[in-house]
Structure 1
């Protein structure tokens, strides 16, 4: 059996993917179990990867239910004796961050070391407060998230409400305390923290996002394997953009400008999914953004539309899924158990193969990740390679 170097527990699918992807890019055998209900089955198969992530799909659940799911995931992973036990949280603190961290703390018996910074995406941590491109989290676009608005208070205050004193530690240092929040404003800070963590990894349940897993991958797997493919097959590409955040909308606009005549299907406007010879296609919820549908309705509508297209097309295009709810709904509809990761196409854009089948490629991205032109670059790359 392969020694498990890293076990990751994430509250949504795209988070599990982007946290695990840096390890795959460096040649580590890496898998993402798409749902907690599939974890026991994957473990029982044996031949575990070096990095195993599981999605508890708990971001939008009531806090007590989310805590129970995280505790179950930790309890299933601990017997595998991972070198690093990692609780992935949203870098903008959406979801049940405190409840899930405390559940993981109780189940693991380890202290929490919290650092959700992703400096490469403009998310930094100063004084225990999250900033997005230099702006306090509460006043950023993420502060207006329709389904899961982040808290307005800094992390020490949030944990303090639960009766826990979490000191804020300077960047790059590991505390003597049993629990702590570590500031980070640069990738250098995260690399220094990762190196210190690996001196005594068993002390901590590490809480963070893709910024810290990137730094840990650099320390654990310093020499990328030459055989790792760097780009996915893109002879046929289906964009499915279910996220309705402002950044995802800007990315769609740039994609449509960059690829004139791009076929667009509007999943919630009763468009009929139909075969289309175009190699590049886009599915979005509506012609005009509105509040007519809940996030769950959008995710299920997108999944239905994509499922119909896949059945009619006779082949599997590269699926590009953005938005954790949409990605999860699509994968459940097509009956996927896990994704074997190959790496990243760009920071925050993970890709791999559905159930390890090389003719079923998939790529995921959290809705708010990436610059405005990210989808346009991917679309143009597909067109050029075709």
Structure 2
């Protein structure tokens, strides 16, 4: 394939674990691939950028997205990756995209039971706003996609309406919104959207996977790694993480619990360093966590990790997008090269310095998720966990 024929795809994510999750769907395609943090730092056929907009205000997030796309060459295909539970500044980001070209919105991650039917988002058949999965958010979950977008104009389009239906939505200036019940629906949406020049696609990693399926496949080789001591940092408040932490403890990890008050005061990193020396260290935050202080806590956790592993070769397992981003910022890492996916969303990447980082959204994975991720980095067990399920919060 000549350079002129190669795809040029830019994917904009709102947090780091989501960026890695999305990059992983291109691992078995014949493309070069990279993840950048903050801004585009490298060149490849597919570039995934963590803009960090999940923790910004709506206005800041919209500006970051607009700045990222308004000067792009017309041949670059843009995909805006969103959270599969519709958290973040989605309406503001999509409104800014709409100012640059037509937008198709197709939320849904069917492999994990997240669908949209008649404009209503569901998790395992339960409407999102009744699922309890937004319990840690400061606002209520949207009851519908129209509710999510508020004043931003939307227009439902059925796949049966074909290009005429999509064209009518685009011509009206509204966001074209599709239901998503299956990966086959996403394949059809991508095929239909390809007929509209300059269209921006907005959806979860499953929509990016549908784009990836249109590209030439390749057989990925096993990604050899040098086994390293591992530090697992659990920065998510998702209930599913409790069982995953217990399973990792049972596998022999040394658990270091830092009370949130001590963390914010600047705790001594020695216990974490000693735990890493034992082989596999697990770092969690104890005590009541005020959601309003989550960014402050993530920053303090990242500072502790950076001080604990300075001048050491350590494999990192980072759960939760904000925690992952903060840790890599503290370590001065701005580019990742994905090499393997342990299970859906659990992605191992290599840094420019040759280190390894495994990231995963906080709510993803079965009980053995952290065990499988640390085993891969330590070279203990080459068998990947194939659990694509999630425990309900």
Aligned pair 1:296/2:292, yes or no?
no
Instruction: Give the SS at the match of 2:47.
Output: strand
Aligned pair 1:307/2:306, yes or no?
yes
2:27 match: 24
8 Å CA contact 2:358–2:373 kept in 1: the answer is no
Match of 1:79 among 73, 76, 84: 73
2:390 match: none
Instruction: Give the SS at the match of 1:142.
Output: coil
Root-mean-square deviation over aligned CA pairs: 2.7
Task: Provide the rounded CA distance (Å) in 2 between the counterparts of 1:26 and 1:256.
Answer: 36
* 1:296-346, Cα deviation, whole Å (9 max, x unpaired): 1221121112111211xx432221111111111111111112112224221
Aligned pair 1:197/2:189, yes or no?
no
8 Å CA contact 2:254–2:282 kept in 1: the answer is yes
* 1:31-88, Cα deviation, whole Å (9 max, x unpaired): 121113xx3xx26xxxx20101222212222211211111001124x22731x21011
Task: Provide the rounded CA distance (Å) in 2 between the counterparts of 1:120 and 1:230.
Answer: 25
2:343 match: 346
Task: Provide the rounded CA distance (Å) in 1 between the counterparts of 2:367 and 2:162.
Answer: 34
1:285 match: 285
Task: Provide the rounded CA distance (Å) in 1 between the counterparts of 2:186 and 2:46.
Answer: 19
Alignment TM-score, normalising by the size of structure 2: 0.83
1:332 match: 329
2:388 match: none
8 Å CA contact 1:352–1:363 kept in 2: the answer is yes
Task: Provide the rounded CA distance (Å) in 2 between the counterparts of 1:170 and 1:250.
Answer: 40
Aligned residues: 363
Cα distance 1:351–1:260, how it changes in 2: closer, same or farther (>3 A)? closer
Task: Provide the rounded CA distance (Å) in 2 between the counterparts of 1:119 and 1:192.
Answer: 14
1:245 match: 238
* 1:158-210, Cα deviation, whole Å (9 max, x unpaired): 43x32514114248966333131111122222233334434x26342100011
8 Å CA contact 1:251–1:374 kept in 2: the answer is yes
1:317 match: 314
Instruction: Give the SS at the match of 2:180.
Output: coil
8 Å CA contact 1:6–1:86 kept in 2: the answer is yes
Displacement of 1:98 = 0.8
Q: Which runs of 5+ in 1 are unaligned?
A: none
1:152 match: 142
8 Å CA contact 1:231–1:345 kept in 2: the answer is no
Displacement of 1:156 = 2.4
Displacement of 1:8 = 0.8
Cα distance 1:380–1:172, how it changes in 2: closer, same or farther (>3 A)? farther
Task: Provide the rounded CA distance (Å) in 2 between the counterparts of 1:167 and 1:103.
Answer: 19
* 1:253-309, Cα deviation, whole Å (9 max, x unpaired): 23223x1353434273455322332221111122x4543982112211211121112
2:122 match: 131
Cα distance 1:372–1:203, how it changes in 2: closer, same or farther (>3 A)? same
* 1:342-380, Cα deviation, whole Å (9 max, x unpaired): 2422111122122x33x2111111111222331133345
Instruction: Give the SS at the match of 1:266.
Output: strand
Task: Provide the rounded CA distance (Å) in 2 between the counterparts of 1:335 and 1:197.
Answer: 38
Q: Which runs of 5+ in 2 are unaligned?
A: 383-393
Task: Provide the rounded CA distance (Å) in 1 between the counterparts of 2:374 and 2:160.
Answer: 38
Cα distance 1:267–1:323, how it changes in 2: closer, same or farther (>3 A)? farther
